[in-house]
Amino acid sequence: MMHLNLKQPLVLPGHQGNVVGSSRRAPSPAAVGGRRAGPSSSRRRHVMPRISCSSTEEIGGAVSAATVEKMLTVRATVEAAPAIGRMYATRGLDDIGDLLGKTLLLELVSSELDPKTGLEKERVTAFAHKTLVEGRYEAEFQVPASFGPVGAVLVENEHHKETFIREIKLVTGGDTSSAVTFDCNSWVHSKFDNPEKRVFFTLKSFLPSETPKGLEELRKKELQTLRGDGHGERRSFERVYDYDVYNDLGDPDRNPAHQRPVLGGSDQYPYPRRCRTGRARTKKDPRTERRDGHNYVPRDEWFSEVKQLTFGATTLRSGMHALLPMLRPLLIKQELRFPNFPTIDDLYSDGIPLPPQTGFDAIRTVVPRMVKLVEDTTEHVLRFEIPGMVERDRFSWFRDEEFARQTLAGLNPLCIQLLTEFPIKSKLDPAVYGPAESAITREILEKQMNCNLTVEEALAAKRLFILDYHDVFLPYVHKVREQANATLYGSRTVFFLTDLGTLMPLAIELTRPKSPTKPQWKQVFTHGPDATDAWLWKLAKAHVLTHDTGYHQLVSHWLRTHCCVEPYIIAANRQLSRLHPVYRLLHPHFRYTMEINALARESLINADGIIEQAFWPGKYSVELSSVAYGATWQFDTEALPNDLVKRGLAVRRDDGELELTIKDYPYAHDGLMVWDSIKQWAADYVGVYYKSDEAVAADPELQAFWEEVRTVGHADKKDEPWWPVLDTRASLVETLTTIMWVTSGHHSAVNFGQYHFGGYFPNRPTTIRKNMPVEEKRDDEMKQFLAQPEATLLDMLPTQMQAITVMTTLDILSSHSPDEEYMGEHAEPSWLAEPMVKAAFEKFGGRMKEIEGFVDECNNNPELRNRCGAGIVPYELLKPFSTPGVTGRGIPNSISI
């Protein structure tokens, strides 16, 4: 690189010895930080500063124009903040550094190459000094007039601790109208941890082929840094993105019973990849990673300071570790069931007294909604909020109408399918599991339909639907039953579409596969005309509800959103530069997901974690999600329209539009409005940067990103034919829309209603502990059932400890953080820097506000009986905006909880 040929160095006033414009060269810079890993950022529209005038100036006498170039004064303002928890750690050394002016070293990088040498122009360097304003630093540069646009700023943190940098603003010649802002919102590590400087690029986005020449090498080096070398254990301050299999859920060294299979990398247990931590392996199983300390997450993926302080970065972990041990002595026995339904109701009225010596203040911080001060006393109780569905109708959970309605407008509206073939048959091997044909006969269905339709006529009219958990669960029945206080069946539930557009459950089949000692058992239950059949029907519904609850949590929620999205995040950070427009489009949709996934591996889905303790699959929970991934997951059908068509809930007309099979299907109706809005936004955005299909196919970063998603992130499905090929703008738009939909609308639909629907646990029990009393027809069980059927139901439901564990967890998981960012609400600074993108986003935001109104109209339309009626909770899970807390509405950009 050519050095500036100055007769003497320029020294800023008051900073003796800090040479500006010197020949100091930067080492290979570290990569740019992710957006919003810390405090919220400002959003302004800026353009790249161009320093373009050139002239001569005399310095200390007559100097020729050939040797001296006019220098322009550029002032930089840095808005920064240390980590709150570390604000006073090692302040002594850092305060001395601030006094000496060695705080943040800034280097300006030109977007242009030197026209004479063809090399990168000399970077201009200055120290930023702390000001009297907390968190603000200022620097002054003398920059050659021919420097050209500043395309990047490198930062070296001279402090001993990391610093969060919100933005860097440059002003040339005191003209504030020329101010340009570099949107940083990232943690900058201490140089004592890593000597590599951080780089923050201009707000203007560039495809690889359009990258300014002065930034090309920096763009490549940044990606190399983010990829790492695949070796060693990752440290907390690092920003390395790499892949690994799920081999860290168990801990056999500490407890042999916590041995769990490795998920991913095998035909038996296919699975998406997670972020590599590089920890050592256990002694008892060299394939399993040791669970030492917290799971590594790249620094910019951590929760923000706001989320840590007001919501709690470790809310789930601390809530379970602090609250549950405190409750165990109060509940006497973990296996204790609720003696009656009024005792369950007491959880929402009287609550559970909390002894003062158990650390109440810590609990109140973790779960403030649930800890109440008893009126006129100093005592505190754990008292749960009344879920909306129980508040509106205390007995709705007991009725068939609500049981059916929730398949369309509940927490898991993704599994109901059109029944297309009869008789119903299993695809499992009958030699292993028993006869394949269902016990649900034509006679049973026609009797229950009671409308003079034959099964064939009902099939042709698309009026029969099925919730089918038979084949996916049947292989696990005997395994689950080997666990204490747990049972399982394979189940099928058939529904009939009434003339009013509602579903009516017709029959439930429960199946136990054959075993070495017993034949296959299966029985069909209907809502019969006598008390015994009516109660057996209620018990069968409880089994189906727990099947649906387990599938929802492990597949519809964890697998299809959290787990399958993580490879997209890793690949995007490894292959798409921060300058890439696709990275900048997707990045808001990846906020906090890796952190919440790491927390889930630590406390939720791990061996003996919350899911294993309180959900029926127990130790087979995540393994079961692996089986579902191998059997059912396809990227193309993660797109909402394709998913609806696949399940027979919609048909595609000749004009390409979708027609819903069930007109009043709230999830599909509202979801398609959100999908169409996202797709239009993606199309407008892509159109700004890609002027042809050839430009998409020729983009090396984009192609590398998608190749890595397929062959590494989802390597166990890399050869499937359904993967889209990104060779046209249309295919790119569809792919981006699918990713954005899964991280926003899909996740919101299955997450933020968890407390509303599961907070009263009999509505969605997470486990059933007893078999149907008619399975073995034991005299003692039948006698108890006939004498007290309600007691039989209570015996089947979760224990007090299981119920309170789940209710507490669902309250936490259903909550919106105060710094939540909703779809269409806030534009990224890089979007505002491009007028056409800014206009497209404003239209997108307007559409999302219109959807709010459409949802309200539907919820107040008495003709739509699946979302409006006596005691019915309005369907608002896909209503775009929300206030903080547990609201049952709101579509955040990302999977942030």
Whether the upstream peptide bond of residue 423 has omega within 30° of 0, thus cis, is: yes
DSSP character for 888? Answer: S
Distance, CA of 708 to CA of 714 (rounded, Å) = 8
To 10 degrees, the CA torsion angle through 56, 58, 64, 69? -40
- Could you confirm whether 332 is annotated as catalytic? no
Catalytic one among 352, 596, 851, 897?
Answer: 897
Helix H or strand E segment including 497: strand 490-497
Distance, CA of 499 to CA of 281 (rounded, Å) = 60
Query: How do strand 180-188 and strand 104-110 relate by DSSP bridges?
Result: unpaired
Q: Is 246 helix (H, G, I), strand (E, B) or coil?
A: strand
Closest CA to 465 of 675, 650, 652: 650
End-to-end CA distance of the chain: 48
Distance, CA of 104 to CA of 240 (rounded, Å) = 23
Closest CA to 275 of 602, 725, 37, 611: 602
Closest CA to 106 of 145, 147, 144, 141: 141
- Could you confirm whether 747 is annotated as catalytic? yes
- Could you confirm whether 231 is annotated as catalytic? no
Catalytic one among 159, 380, 552, 562?
Answer: 562
- Could you confirm whether 897 is annotated as catalytic? yes
Q: Report yes or no: 363 and 326 within 8 Å, Cβ to Cβ.
A: yes
Catalytic one among 258, 557, 714, 746?
Answer: 557
Between the alpha carbon of residue 496 and those of residues 441, 459, 551, the distances in Å are 15, 10, 22
Which phi and psi angles does 71 have, rounded to 5°?
A: -105, 135
Contacts of 161 (CB under 8 A, 6+ apart): 82, 83, 86, 89, 90, 94, 190
Catalytic one among 18, 185, 295, 751?
Answer: 751
Distance, CA of 731 to CA of 734 (rounded, Å) = 5
Q: At what angle do helices 800-813 and 315-327 cross, to 10 degrees?
A: 160
Read off the tokens for 802: 């299981």
Read off the tokens for 771: 């078999």
Distance, CA of 464 to CA of 414 (rounded, Å) = 16
Catalytic one among 380, 587, 669, 747?
Answer: 747
CA atoms within 13 A on the CB side of 861: 12
Read off the tokens for 253: 């060294």
Distance, CA of 320 to CA of 602 (rounded, Å) = 12
Distance, CA of 332 to CA of 719 (rounded, Å) = 54
Q: Is 794 helix (H, G, I), strand (E, B) or coil?
A: helix
- Could you confirm whether 557 is annotated as catalytic? yes
Distance, CA of 715 to CA of 726 (rounded, Å) = 18
Instruction: Give catalytic residue positions.
Output: 557, 562, 747, 751, 897
